[in-house]
Amino acid sequence: MAKFIRVNMTDLTVDVSTVPSEYSKMGGRGLTSHFIFNEVNPECHPLGPNNKLIFAPGIVTGTAAPSSGRISVGAKSPLTGGIKESNSGTPFSQSLARLGYKAIVIEGQPENKKDLYLLKVTEDDAELIGANELEGKGAYETVTSLNEQYQDSDVCCIGPAGEKKMTMAGICFNDPEYRASRYSGRGGLGAVMGSKGLKAIVVEKGGCLIAPLDEDVFRAGQRKLVEGLRNHGVTQPGGTLNAFGTAALINVLNQAGGLPTRNFREGVFEGAEKISGEHMAEVIKERGGAGMTGHACHPGCVIQCSNVYPRPDGSDHVSCIEYESAWSLGANLGVDNLDQVAEMIRICNDVGIDTIEAGVALGVAMEAGLAEFGDGEAAIKLLKEIGKGSPLGHILGNGAGFTGRAFGVVRIPVVKNQAMPAYEPRAVKGIGITYITTPMGADHTAGYTIAPEILGVGGQLDPLDPKGKMEISRAFQAVTAFVDSCGYCLFITFATTDIPSATEGMVETVNGVLGTEYTPDDIVEEGLEILRLEKTFNERAGFTHKDDRPPEFMRYEKLPPHNHVYDVPDEELDEVWNF
């Protein structure tokens, strides 16, 4: 019988009970969004006692389904002020699911705001333990020390930024080698965890795979999905993601004129090749030692797009350099030194902050004159201010929007106060619609139209043409909500978009686990239902159609090299929600 863990931080009690019936067939984002919709007042302060933080493995997480080790974390976001789901791939999610837990719910706040706690989860019980000795410790030290103390366990934690309740704070999870490197980074959910006085969660490693209700249906679906992933050019062994990681997109977007450069001033970066996935793979091979490509963020991942980047002496520097991080701390700052980018990622991981929000905030700070574009050492010093908790660090640590307002900057690339990721909306019109209309704030993973607009997956669309992109973005947002609920990595959608049998396989694995009878035709409607809840929550929190708009500067500043503005009409943006 699946279980819920409810942790009341006000009276420091923990209750383990069977899953409420309304959540019995949910998982991941579907569960977190339904739960926040049902139990959190949309008008509450995100860092106050009435917000709740929920951790939920996906529907198929903990089974033998490929690339399914995702965990969703949900709450009202202190960064956007709306509903938020942020997910990560990590062994933590698989262990939690295999112990029989469908969710952990954190509510209330300790009376003594200075106290910190750790939640220890075993197969039979969960308990709160005082953890003041972890105060101020970075994520690396926290994960290492807890792994030594609680062997055969997986860990999630916050860094100093989360303790200080900075709104770019994320929640860190361990990877298979116990690096503090896997993040639910977006939306400031680490600040929510900090506001609850919860420093870390330690979960005993689950032993047995979850047994599906219908083993035959599950196995048939698993085979189809694995076959699809192994035969798609993007996800197959030795394919683009496996060989070069997500940073392979640096050169691709640069060639398309859609790589945001120097705080979204240009769409082409002259130093792109030096921070690309291809160059990174060469450096890793040359340096040897701890470095590797084709690394998995959790057991059972067949795509293995992660990496370990080594220092010049071959020792472990950071895992991993993703496309978004290489861009935000590289091209967006005018920095083309991969070692400097790696060091900035390492600092972000340790302090416990989202690399996208951090990089965009630094770009805004450079716009304000706090440092020169291209000065990697100055960027590193600014990041360290966040870890110190200095006044400047608090400004930067509260995100790009806050930083821009503090220094009177006009060019602030945010939607719903969340920093835009690594695809320029003026050069890739469909992803702009996703940024602008998703309830999550600017988020590429909410509806990855880059697939057809740039990569030719699911057809080839002209990225500069806004026509028809509204329907494409809405469909991608709906499918993504379903995939996030399953616990699958977003990257399986490359195969499921192009290979019908892979889509069938994904759905069949869900049916095998739940005993349901979903068909591929049900995916969009199931996803739209989740989006309706999220949109309604935001409306009740005070959002209007005016929040679904691009930054004003993108309407009048032409982006080189194509010299386009963002020209999707407001009426078409509003049409996304007419379903």
pLDDT in tens, 391-443: 999 999 999 999 999 999 999 999 999 999 999 999 999 999 999 999 999 99
Cβ distance 111 to 10 under 8 Å? yes
pLDDT of residue 1: 73
- The mean pLDDT of 167-187, rounded to a whole number, is 97
Token pair of 261 as six digits: 């450069």
- The mean pLDDT of 475-482, rounded to a whole number, is 98
State the Cα–Cα distance between residues 384 and 27, nearest whole angstrom. 37
pLDDT of residue 422: 98
- Of 141, 143, 132, 185, nearest to 421 (Cα)? 185
What is the identity of the amino acid at 362? L
State the Cα–Cα distance between residues 222 and 217, nearest whole angstrom. 9
Whether the pLDDT of residue 364 is over 90: the answer is: yes
User: Where do the structural domains in the chain lie, given as residue ranges?
Assistant: 3-204, 243-423
Cβ distance 186 to 440 under 8 Å? yes
What percentage of the chain carries pLDDT values higher than 70?
A: 100
Q: Which CATH class is domain 243-423?
A: mainly alpha
pLDDT of residue 113: 85
- Of 47, 67, 14, nearest to 305 (Cα)? 67
Peptide bond into 561 cis (omega under 30): yes
Q: Please give the distance of CA 100 from its chain centroid, rounded to a whole number.
A: 24
pTM of the predicted protein model: 0.97
Token pair of 338 as six digits: 């991969």
DSSP assignments along 504-548, one per residue = HHHHHHHHHHH-----GGGHHHHHHHHHHHHHHHHHHTT--GGGS
- Of 525, 515, 518, 494, nearest to 504 (Cα)? 518
Is 74 buried (19+), middle (13-18) or exposed (0-12) by CB count in 10 A?
buried
Cβ distance 566 to 432 under 8 Å? yes
Token pair of 197 as six digits: 């006085």
* Angle value at C-alpha 125, between 120 and 131, nearest 5 degrees: 20
- The mean pLDDT of 456-472, rounded to a whole number, is 96
* Angle value at C-alpha 340, between 87 and 276, nearest 5 degrees: 65
Whether the pLDDT of residue 206 is over 80: the answer is: no
Give the N- to C-terminal CA distance of the chain in Å, as an integer. 36
**Could you tell me which CATH number the domain at 3-204 has?**
3.60.9.10
- Of 281, 308, 305, nearest to 294 (Cα)? 305
pLDDT of residue 175: 96
